[in-house]
Each structure stands twice: as structure tokens, then as C-alpha cells.
A and B are shown apart, each in its own frame.
Chain A
């Protein structure tokens, strides 16, 4: 047996070095790519609850009349997806209605998440709302901005599902079989860009399903932090964006609330958001019409000019209801320092309630999506989830119920409705939120 030559030993050394180098390179590359892996959403979405309520703002009987007009009467026709997801968001998944032409919360959700229900409502020739497996990785997308049988905004449906507490393992019946809702969340996460045109609802989705995540890296290689999301939400002019920019304020208020739990915003950014919301409220106080409404010009003059004068496709009245309803809704979630004076709030709710009561059936049908925001806002300001408010009022009316010892309010007296206490009719979830935060508006006063 011949002795190995030094050349052999050196050759082995080279082979070892090259193999080690290549292996390390492959491992390191894998590690770098792993750092960009998207986070896993938590199963149960963490709710974002209203911080304030003031039953004196609207009387219960008046609220009941308004809510009754906004019931989801979509049974037996081709319901617009935009109406369905708004209705689901307003009424919740547990809602039931006595009217035969109304869809229950479960039926509303089924229209969104069960292709069989969708196909029954829209017929077999309509393109499916659910698009499974767009990338070959078992993901799920919602057809968006393609007509009445599609969602109207990016991630809007997903945000609505999150708001009504749909878990990630909720079964979704697609045209090609069943998938968990998580597939849709992962699809939204995969395609999310901080600079996409619509991001308000995406933010809400992340706030519900990713409260345990401090940051992640987008498919564009950008590290997404909550600070960065907030910065993006505050970048554009105040009135630019869907619903005159009010959804961005809603998302910012929700960000602050989540930060109360998990402290993922930097102190500087938190202060910036609060300032931003205070600024928005100050502008709203300054630009409120004497009658109590706002329109697309609500921000007034910003450092780079006034908002462009434009009227939405549904007319001036619709714009006012849209704007006022959304404003009242995001104030529910805003921190106390960003709330307006009681006068402003009362004037707005009075005007909104008047307008909603005067709407014709045709107007109600056409304005339905943003009416749900208005109706929900009024109900929550009153202190109840809409479906509970409607059902409680029905039962209260039926039994002519009056709670002993409950304080009367101006609104109750004026409206002739039954007086209610500030908390007696609050749903447990609502109560919990208000208690935790310790910022119950009524108590604060």
C-alpha cells in the first residue's frame, strides 16, 4: 500500500474548504430568506372595542327605528358583495332577524365564505367571489373591484370577517374545495405593500390577526413595523382616500387601542398619532356645518392647500351622511384626548339620526354601505351593538320594559323613549372594553 502523497492531502483540504464554503453559503442564504418568512396569524382575531358611549346622544326608540331600516333585506336577490360585507360588519355573525327577507349574520358570512351560497344567489354564470390557489400554494383571494359580485376595496372583506370574530380555521368553501380562512390572510400578507393604493383595511386585518407580531418583512423586502404602518396612514392628505380619508383615522385609532395592550408603537409615534387625531378632531370641530354634518371638505386647509372640490356619484346628501357617519364611528375608538366637545358630537348625531329617518327606501338601498357605518356608530354611541340594540328594543317595546331606578337622559325625555342607564344594556364585550380602558365617556363626565 503506497503512502498518500502531500498533494493528496492538499487536494482533500481544498475539497473540504470548497464544500464547507458552499454548504455555509447555502445555509446562510436559507437563513436570510427565512428571516423574510411571513408571520403566522393567531387563530382568534383580537377584537377592537369602542372606547366610549353616551346613551344620551340618541334615544333608544329613535335608534330602533333607524336600525330597523338598515336590516339586511338581501334574501332572494343578487346581493352586492359590498352590501353583504358591510351588513355583516354592522350586524355581526350572530345576528338574527324576524323579517323573512332579511339574512342572518351566519347567512351573510356564508355568502362571503361559501361558494355554494354565492352561486345560489348570483347564479352559475357569475365569476366566483372566492378565487382559490392563485399562486399554486393553496392560498385564497377575494375577487375585488370587479363589479357588484366582488369586494369594493382591497382586504375589506377580510377586515369585516376579522371584526366579526371569524377564526383563521373557519372553513371556506371555494369552487375547488375547502380551505381555512388562514389561506386568505396569508394571501393578503404575501401581497401586502406599504405603498399600495388601499391599505386601511389591511391594517385592520393585521391588528386583529397579528397582535402578537412586532414586525415582519414584506415580499418587497421592507420591514413592516407598526410605526411604519402608522406613518403610512398619516402620509396622505386628510381627505384623500376612501370615504374622505376617515378609514385611515379609524385604523389609527385602532392602532392606538392595540398599543394600549401590547405597546408596539414607539413613544414618539404614539404621540404623533394622538396629535394627528387631535388635529383631525380640531379640524372637524372647525368645519362642522351649523346643522351638524361634514362633507369632503372637512379637513379645511392643510399645509399644501385645500381639498379639491368634488361631489361623490351619489350626490351632496350622500356625501354628508357618508362623512358624518364615518366621523362618528372613528371617534368611538379614538383616545379621550382626541374627542370633540359634547356640542359637536350631539349636533352630529342629531343631524345624522334625522337624515337616516328621512331616507326613502330607494335611498336606503343605494346608500346602504355607508349607512351601515352611520347606524353602527349611533348604536355604539348609545352603548349597544346594533343587533342587540334592535332585539333589545323589540323585546323592551313588547314588554313595555322600564328599568327601575335608571336615570333619565335629555334624549330619552325629548324622544319620549324609555330611559336607560349608561351601562345596563351594554353587551358584555362592550362593557369589558370600556372597563379595561377606564375611559367610559359617560362616566368620565
Chain B
């Protein structure tokens, strides 16, 4: 890892955040090691805020709990589930658990003294991913300031997904690590140090081993490892195109060391990704996963819409990219073009891909931004040289900042003590806490209809053995007929009661905010009684059915084990 430039207070300022070779070992340099500038202090402050914010972020009411429940199931049974253990309607559909390791980690956190451990794990993961991404952008641009700015840029573009507390967060961490590895190895298009390209990279066996190990972990943590493979494939192709343009010989291109290094990295990555309980099948299943028909009804798998939380930052990113490429004199490499084309197309097709597009954009733009900044002499012109003046006092302030962040964030409670936060603060406001309490007091019999995004929570925190129609984890596992029925019930479509009958559902949990049609339907339907309601949820159960003409009372033999009574014959 290259060292960040270290200067004493008396040294003349360099261009902001430039990297220089590591210290020579002289006493002065050793003494200056660890000194920070105000700019770096601000960066530390930014990362502290990032951690603090994410640590206080309420735990989302959706699939997080499904993953915790899965992890808990794995830990309890000591194996991976063959079928979904919580949604009986998905019985007979094999589960490929692409995130089993993440789920185990989440379950271990969930087994902590309280649910806040999940928030600690989330905040730490986000922090590390952001720092690694900043480091990668810094390596690529040669300026730590640009690196931090690019990390912030990625965070801003993917703002709509910043609160995603699920195994994807580990995928984001792996993605940042991959970007750092490819930048560091020079696989992308060579590294820059002090505005000068650095020839070659660190692509020895250690680097290859790191790629292999990274993908081995990633494939077990989250299905997004496919995105990493795509990055490596594009980079290998980019290098090949680069060489082909340079030497105009296919033979020379394929024999070129850089091209072969890219290919080797890709092969090792695939090999690493195959080191999982499902082997190569995981790669295949993950590849075909996005075309599953049930996902067409899930918002995060929709195509990009410009007037949306993702569309606006995408539009801004396009404007930024155009501006940067217009003014940058740095050559735009085929790898950069390939990456941008691939990830833009991915976002246009599936909006959730913005989470992977943002870091790629940051890494691609980083050297161009640095080049523009250097060429225009932004730092000197703005008289911001004081930003890079270094001091150990600033380092102490940074330490103080980190300590204060620790003290004021919930993560300090296990160390420093204190009362746990109330549930209303720990869990997101859409979490059906009241409905869960009611269900705990009145455990329902039979299958329960609940929004799929609450299904996970209800399975985890609801009555023991609660059976729900759908959870977020089984959207792609549910037979399409069940999923269509679920959607029709969710919108109180014509025949919604008949569909409930088909599954013998007598208890319905409804989200007030997102299922207003169904709320109205259960409130107005004659066969239903609302038994619980608050500002978040409504619970309705079937009214007692009227007696028939026969009017007999019989108990199922299977349940009672007794002979049915003669009954009251008319």
C-alpha cells in the first residue's frame, strides 16, 4: 500500500493529497508520520458522520429479518436449507442460498444481547466499504482528496439504497475491495502516482491469491459476485482492446502479459466463486436469476424511471460524466468505456444496479477529476493550501473525533453502558410492532396473509411457528400462481376473498401506508372483522361463519382422535 504524503508544518504545501513514495526512514520523516492535514481531518470527520448516521439508522422492517431467520436456521440445523424453511407455499422449490455466510453473520449479530448489534454490524460494514472505495479512488487518482470526494460521490448517487441492511452490504464491501485490488494491480489501466502514470502494477501471485480469496468469500456472502466477475471480464477485454489498438496484432495481443494477467484474474475469480456449497451451479443460477418472472413485480427490479429516486441521480451522473470527459485531457481507456456502458445498461434494465454503478463511476472518474483539478490548479488558485498543511495536533483532533463518534453512537453501549434505545427508535417506523404484539397474544391458526416485506419480520418476531403466505426471501421461489394471487390480494383485486379461500387464509395483516385498497376492502367486506389497528397496520380476521341448515357441530377426527358426535339432525 502506498503511503499518503506526510509533511511537517514547516514544509511547503504540495498539491492536495498527492501521493509520494513512502518515507525514507529519516528521523524527521518518521516523526512526521501520522500527522494529518485539515483536509484529512475533514475526511475523518466525514467518515465519522457516515458511521454515526448508519449506526443510528433504524433497522429496516423488510428482508433483513428474513436473512437473520435464515442464518439462525442454518446455525441451528448445521446445514443449508434445501427448501425455504418458512414459506410452506414454496415447498418443492429448491433454494440456492446465495447469501448463507452473510445470513450466518447477521444471525450471530442478531443473537447478541439486543437487535442493535445488527445496526453495529451494518454501520461498520458501510464504513469499511466507503473507506476502501475512497482508498481505491485515491490510488487511481493519486490524490486522497479526490478519493474521498469520489467515495462521497458514490454514496450520493446510490443514496436511494444507502439504508439497505441485507447481505448486499457485504457484497458492497467485496466490490470496493475488488476495485481497490484492480486499481492497485494496474489491471484497470495503470496507476497514477503524483500525476504520473506508474508502469505496471502489483500483479504477482499474492495479488492473484487475493482475487481468488475475495471471490471465494464473496460468492458465499452475496450473489453480487457476478458483478465482480463482470468487472474483471470487462477489464480483461479492455486491456485486450488497448493492446490490439497499440500493436494491431491479435497474436501479440493475446500473448501480452497484461491481457493474460486479466484473463488469469478472471479465471481465478470464477474458480474462487465456485468454492461454495453449490459449486458451479451457483454461478449459473445467479446469472439467470434476474430474469425470474416474479421479479417483474418487485420495484427494485424495475427498469430505470427518470422521475424517481434513482433516475435523478443517474441523470446528474450522466451530466457529470459528460462534463468530466469533456474537460479531462486524460485518455479514456476502453476499460473505462466498457465499465460505464455495462453498468449504465444494467441500471437502465434493473434499477437496483445503481448500487454497483455508483462505485464504478467513482473509480472511472477519479483520475479524470484529479487531472482536471491539477490542470486548473484548483487548490493553489483557491488559496486552499492550508488544507494540506499537516500537524500532529490535527491528528489528535482526529483521534478525539473518532472517540466522540464512538461515545455518541449506540455501538459504545456494550462498553460504556447505558440504557438500550426504545424499540421505536431501533426499528424503522414501518415495523409492525403493535400488530406483532397482538399476534403474540392471539396466535392465528393456519396461513396468514401479510405483506411480503413484513413476512420476514413476522416469522422472526411473531408467534412461534407463524405461517405466512410470502416473505421477501421467497419471491423468486414462490410458484408464479401463488405470487399472482399474492399480488391480487395485496391490491384487493377482484376475487381477493376467493384467493384467500384457496389458501385457507383467515387472518390478514395489512400495511396502512402501502396497501390502502386492501385496508378499505377488509374494513368494508362483510365476512371480515378488524381486530387490531394502529397507524402502521391493520389486522382483520374472518367473522365467525354462520351455521348451516344442518347446523351440526363436529370436531375433525384427525385432530381430536375421537368419534364425531351424532349431531343435531333436523
Interface residues of A (CB under 8 A from B): 5, 7-8, 10-11, 14-15, 17-18, 21, 24-25, 28-29, 32, 193-197, 218, 220-225, 228, 235-237, 240, 272, 275-276, 278-279, 282-283, 285-290, 294-309
Contacts and interface: CB of A to CB of B under 8 A. Distances in A.
Contacts, number: 163
Contacts of A225: 92
B281 interface: yes
Given A286-B566, A290-B570, A32 B556 contact: no
A318 B554 CA distance: 25
Contacts of A306: 544-548, 551
Given A278-B558, A279-B558, 6 more contacts: A14-B254, A221-B93, A222-B479, A223-B93, A286-B567, A299-B554
A279 B552 contact: no
Interface string B279-296: 011011000100000000
B506 interface: yes
Given A14-B260, A275-B557, A286-B552, A28 B284 contact: yes
Among B90, B481, B545, B548, chain A packs the most CB atoms within 10 A around the CB of B548
For the complex of A and B, 5 pairs with smallest distance between CB atoms = A297-B548, A7-B255, A305-B545, A282-B564, A286-B567
A14 B89 contact: no
19 contacts: A10-B255, A14-B267, A21-B270, A28-B284, A29-B288, A32-B284, A197-B502, A220-B93, A278-B557, A287-B554, A287-B567, A297-B550, A297-B552, A300-B552, A303-B445, A303-B556, A304-B446, A306-B544, A309-B549
Contact of A32 (B281, B542, B558, B563): B281
Contacts of B547: 301, 306, 309
A196 B270 CA distance: 40
B281 A304 contact: no
A195 B569 contact: no
A221 B285 CA distance: 13
Contacts of A18: 263, 267
A7 B504 contact: no
Interface string B236-275: 0000000000000001001111001001100100100000
B559 interface: yes
Contacts of A296: 548
Given A275-B558, A303-B559, A224 B260 contact: no
Contact of B479 (A220, A278, A300, A304): A220
Given A21-B270, A236-B501, A279-B557, A218 B550 contact: no
A283 B283 contact: no
Contacts of B504: 235-237, 304
A305 B501 CA distance: 13
B264 A14 contact: yes
B256 A301 contact: no
A195 B558 contact: no
Nearest to B270: A21
A403 B501 CA distance: 53
B503 interface: yes
B565 interface: yes
Interface of B: 89-94, 251, 254-257, 260, 263-264, 267, 270, 280-281, 283-284, 288, 445-446, 479-482, 485, 501-504, 506, 527, 542, 544-554, 556-559, 563-567, 569-570
A309 B283 CA distance: 54
Contacts of A236: 501-502, 504
Contact of B570 (A237, A289, A304, A305): A289
Contacts of A221: 93, 479
Given A11-B255, A196-B481, A286-B564, A29 B557 contact: no
A195 B482 contact: yes
A311 B325 CA distance: 75
A337 B92 CA distance: 31
B481 A193 contact: yes
Nearest to B256: A7
Contact of A222 (B93, B548, B564): B93
A272 B559 CA distance: 11
A193 B480 contact: yes
A377 to B, nearest CB: 21
A304 B564 contact: no
Contacts of A294: 550
A32 B278 CA distance: 13
A213 to B, nearest CB: 15
Nearest to A9: B255
B503 A286 contact: no
B92 A195 contact: no
A363 B94 CA distance: 52
B501 A240 contact: yes
Contacts of B481: 193-196, 220
Nearest to B255: A7
A355 B308 CA distance: 67
Nearest to B274: A21
Contacts of A279: 556-558, 564
Nearest to A11: B254
